Amino acid sequence: MALYEPISTEEDENLFPAEKGVAFCNRLFFKERLYKELSPEDRKAKRFEEETTIWDEFWSWIDTLDPSGGSKLEKAVKYALNHKESLMNYLLDGRCEISNNSAERKAKVYATGRKNFLFHDSVDGAKATAIVISLVETAKANNLNAYKYLYTLLLYMPDYKNEPAGIKQLLPWSTFVQDKCSGIIDDSLALPENRGNLPI
């Protein structure tokens, strides 16, 4: 499917201010889609080359606005101005995303189940659930079988929790974990007595 670059619309007098703000966002997100397959270093370079000018235009345009008090536009303008630096932080690192949509989707898993968590009668119980869900989502983000990953952590963590080299081998991107925890089927799970040692 072909991608067509959004037309610059900040000067279009037929658009409402909110529509112009969306137009700036569309231009930035269009650029991000073009850079999706680039390495982090190349993505960072492209962002500085092409997106900083869009941001400069955006902030110049924001300075021309005088929204009425209490309006949604006023709230949006104040939010943008108050978070100017953090909104542009993604430009500093090619590994960062322009929005937190991905993180929001991950958090939604917990939010969707919160009615089922009413049985938590302690802060420690809620923390334990949050930790397990974080581990599961991290496993999924690294293309691991979540059950295998949790099993592997429980299998090795008690003996290696105080060894930094051991913890490093249990991170989801380590070669050891990638070998042990990939695949759909929950096969070849080592029994505690046959587990062996971590390669440290």
C-beta separation of 74 from 62 below 8 A: no
Q: Residues 110-135: what's their mean pLDDT?
A: 75
Give per-residue pLDDT as tens, 62-77: 998 888 878 888 898 8
C-beta separation of 174 from 168 below 8 A: yes
Nearest to 54 by CA among 85, 26, 96, 89: 26
Nearest to 90 by CA among 98, 101, 100: 98
Give per-residue pLDDT as tens, 138-147: 898 888 999 8
Q: Residues 135-164: what's their mean pLDDT?
A: 88
Q: Percent of the chain at pLDDT above 70?
A: 83
- The pLDDT, as a whole number, for residue 11 is 56
- The pLDDT, as a whole number, for residue 53 is 93
Q: Which residues contact 24 (CB under 8 A, 6 or more apart)?
A: 10, 54, 57, 58, 61
Mean pLDDT, rounded, of the chain: 83
- The pLDDT, as a whole number, for residue 8 is 59
Residue that wins the pLDDT comparison between 178 and 6: 178
Nearest to 58 by CA among 29, 93, 94, 96: 29
C-beta separation of 198 from 156 below 8 A: yes
Tokens of 53: 């000018």
- The pLDDT, as a whole number, for residue 186 is 59
pLDDT band at 81 (very low <50, low <70, confident <90, very high): very high
Give per-residue pLDDT as tens, 9-36: 555 667 788 888 888 989 999 999 999 8
Q: Residues 182-199: what's their mean pLDDT?
A: 72
* Neighbour-count burial of 184, counting CB atoms closer than 10 A to its CB (0-12 exposed, 13-18 middle, 19+ buried): exposed
Residue that wins the pLDDT comparison between 4 and 196: 196
Q: Which residues contact 147 (CB under 8 A, 6 or more apart)?
A: 186
- The pLDDT, as a whole number, for residue 1 is 45
Angle between helices 17-34 and 72-82 (to 10 degrees): 40
Tokens of 134: 């974080």
Task: Count the residues in the chain.
Answer: 200
Computed over its alpha carbons, how large is the radius of gyration of the chain?
23
Give per-residue pLDDT as tens, 118-130: 666 778 877 888 8
Nearest to 62 by CA among 50, 45, 46, 79: 79
